[in-house]
A = this chain, B = another copy of it.
Amino acid sequence: MTIRVFHEHALADLDRVRLSSDESHYAVRVRRVRVGAEIVVLDGLGGMRRGVVERADERACTVVLGAPVPCPVVDPLELWLGLPDPSAALASITAACELAATRIVLVRCRHSPAAVPSSERIARVVRAAQRQCGRPTAPEIAGPVDLASLLAATPPPLGAFAWEQLSQTVTPWADALGADTARRLLVGPEGGLADDEAAACREAGMHAIALGPWTLRTETAVAAGLARLQSTARALPRS
C-alpha cells in the first residue's frame, strides 16, 4: 500500500526534500521505508509528488522527488456535522475526508454533548485521513455554530438532512433526494435531531433523507449520506 508523508512547504519547484523529524520517524520507524522505497509526498497545499527515499534516517529522511501525482477535480461537498461525542466526531470527520467533503461545519444541536474535540485533534485526524486516502488538500473546518444561526445564514439551496424518523415511517429509501438536491448534508448527533430542529431544517428548504431502516452511528450516517449525495445531488456554487 502507498506510503504518504507530508512536507511543510510547496513542492512544485523542488527536486528533493528533507522530511521533518516527525515525518521521518513516521516513514522510517512506523512504516519501515528503506533506501530506494517509493513514497508519495504531500505538501498539504494541493501538491502531491511521487518520490524515492534517498536516505532512510529516522530523524532526517530525504526523498528525491519525481512526477506530480495527478489530482482529480472535486466538486464542493459540504457536511454539517451535528456534534456527537468527540470520538464519534473524529470518526465522522475521517469518513468525510475520505468521501471528498470539501467543507465540514461543526454544528451544535440540542442533543450535542458539551465536549468538542480541539482544533489540534481535528487537524491530526484530518492529516491521518489524508495519509490514508491520498487526498492532497484538507477540507475546510468551520464552527462550532448553532443550527438555527447556520440555517439562517446559508443561502438556498441548502441540501439534505438525515432523518431517522423518516427511515422508520416510510418505505426505506423512498425519500426526497433527487438530482436537484444540493451537495450539502446535515447529520444529527447521537440521539438524532430534535423534532423542532428537523422542522426548522424543512422550513429552511432542506430535504429529509432516509438512510436505511435502523439507527445509524453518526460516522455511518456520514459515510452513507455523503455517498448518496455524491451520486445524485447537484453541485453547490463554487465559492
Contacts and interface: CB of A to CB of B under 8 A. Distances in A.
A21 to B, nearest CB: 27
> Considering residues A72, A211, A231, which has the most beta carbons from chain B within 10 angstroms of its beta carbon?
A231
Nearest to A226: B224
B223 A95 contact: yes
Contacts of A47: none
Secondary structure type dominating chain A contacts: loop
A212 B134 CA distance: 12
A20 interface: no
Given A72-B172, A168-B72, A191-B1, A99 B216 contact: yes
A213 B173 contact: no
A168 B133 CA distance: 12
A1 B168 CA distance: 15
A218 to B, nearest CB: 11
A100 B173 CA distance: 12
Contact of A215 (B132, B216, B217, B231): B132
24 contacts: A1-B190, A1-B191, A2-B215, A72-B168, A72-B213, A74-B172, A74-B213, A99-B211, A99-B212, A99-B216, A99-B220, A100-B214, A132-B215, A132-B217, A133-B214, A133-B216, A134-B214, A134-B215, A172-B230, A212-B230, A223-B223, A223-B224, A224-B224, A225-B227
Interface of A: 1-2, 72, 74, 95, 98-100, 132-135, 168, 172-173, 177, 190-191, 211-217, 220, 223-228, 230-232
